[in-house]
Structure 1
């Protein structure tokens, strides 16, 4: 019974994180009118389907879908880490200049000197990946 509860809560929390991240990215682009750079679009491409995938998996208690959630979140996290590195590591900063219409090294937000949009995406992808790993791990102990 306990493992089932852990899986349910981890899957639901993953869905909630993906939903908040998606809503946040839409707020930045549609309300604040920040134009996403190319790397932001790749992160969106990996985050948005997680809302549907994890929502359906949570509702149906289909924990096998955690593997897909884990894969999408790890890839998205790696892109976010690269994007954040372009913004914050001086010798990589030039890589963001040729990213597209909006340079990938643009900091639309820079809260507390380190919280940027790619950082927020990295946190979301990391949390989702950890939770999906826990779901998969608890399913194997069945």
Structure 2
């Protein structure tokens, strides 16, 4: 292997690892944020929040291990988790904004409301939208990782 090829490969590996690290940082921040809201602020999560946590929390662990091992192929198992979480967060966001009819809302029967005032952080930031943005960011980063850090 020539020195130029080796240098180019080294830069590509560093870029891919940086993307992987950014994905882990997003998953970690979202997980810690959810724990802070639930455990420190005392806000009980609704049913859809629990489902989103079920997909975000493992991502924080899986991506941490992938960073440690420099496993840039982690997108293969992280991308499906992020996609399902994104779908749930998207549904939750639509419910919050009233796009989904009340008759098909899973949280209306018992527990905290999926679309009530309790879904606002600091009185203005909708929690479903924050989750949706976190999953969207993860999908973008993991797709970039799958493409080897190349642009479209």
8 Å CA contact 1:38, 1:100 repeated in 2: no
1:132 aligns to 2:142 (yes or no): yes
Taking structure 1 as the reference length, the TM-score comes to 0.88
Deviations 1:21-47 (A, max 9, x none): 011001111111111010000000000
Q: Which runs of 4+ in 1 moved over 4 A?
A: 110-113
Report matched runs for 1:5-44 at 5 Å.
Answer: 5-44=14-53
In structure 1, list runs of 5 or more residues that go unmatched.
none
Contact conserved, 2:26 with 2:138, CA < 8 A, in 1?
A: yes
Supply the distance in 2 between the matched residues of 1:99 and 1:117 (Cα, whole angstroms): 20
| Count of equivalent residues | 139
- C-alpha change, 1:100 and 1:139, in structure 2 (3 Å) is same
1:64 deviates by 1.8
TM-score by length of 2: 0.82
Using the alignment, how far apart are the partners of 1:85 and 1:76 within structure 2? Answer: 14
CA RMSD of aligned residues (A): 2.1
Q: Which has the larger radius of gyration?
A: 2
Give the unaligned 5+ runs of structure 2: 1-9
Q: CA deviation at 1:139?
A: 7.2
**In structure 2, what is the equivalent of residue 45 of structure 1?**
54
Pair 1:107–1:76, CA change in 2 (3 A): farther
